[in-house]
Structure 1
């Protein structure tokens, strides 16, 4: 398999169909939450994509809740492009964007914790509260 160079850039509206196609299998596998076109488009304000051989192969974004807190959302890398550092590069871009926006804390809810740990994430902040969850739907 030929390994083409990867380019990273800010997400644009023209990327919406490609991002929807990219995340579809991850939603079906319940690795990502389902999102409407409108919800996904809103994430593009602070979103990034990776292109390889003129194909969109990855997406990641942050949603800023307040000056204190933001969340990395929707990290998806095409299976054929995984294990190339693309996800990590997108997470690093999201961290930089959060810093530029003055966010104090950035969180990620993920099943792919290795990528996030490589970027400095941990299960809790030192001497801080831990996040707890409860499932409210019937899935």
Structure 2
């Protein structure tokens, strides 16, 4: 069995939605509608094994020098096998290709991001994120996610 990572395609929307929805139901990822996934499919990378989608992640541009990793997740049974790092590496390569020098995420999986070269920072240093998404989030005034950033050289 071979795991590959590639840019998402329109026919991945249903599997992406199902994977993200599983995390959203647990309150650890923002939900994404199928329409939103269709509109932003070019921002997603997926991991697959034998044609089955088993992981995903996306980049969202927050400014001229900053992108955010969003919707990073994997199917049950695939955590701890390097899949998340494979997707993050693809997203970092994409950010570099876009000539974006900073990549950030809001996460509960701090150790994972530290292992992948990120550092913990105060989330208030990202007003772009606060005004783009946080203003509409139910956890806005009690956010328990941790901000991480990686400078891309």
The root-mean-square deviation of aligned C-alpha atoms, in Å, is 2.1
2:43 is equivalent to residue 43 of structure 1: no
* Higher-strand-fraction structure: 2
Flag the 1:42–1:110 CA change in 2: closer, same or farther, 3 A: farther
- Name the CA distance, whole Å, in 2 between partners of 1:38 and 1:102: 28
In 1, Cα distance between the equivalents of 2:39 and 2:115?
27
Q: Which runs of 5+ in 2 are unaligned?
A: 125-129, 143-153
Q: Distance in 2 between matches of 1:94 and 1:44?
A: 14
1:131 has 2:131 as partner? no
Taking structure 2 as the reference length, what is the TM-score of the superposition? 0.77
Unaligned runs of 5+ in 1: 125-129
Match of 1:26 in 2: 23
Q: Structure 1 residue runs of 4+, over 3 Å off?
A: 132-138
For this pair of structures, how many residues does the alignment match?
A: 131
What displacement does 1:137 show?
7.4
TM-score w.r.t. the length of structure 1 is: 0.85
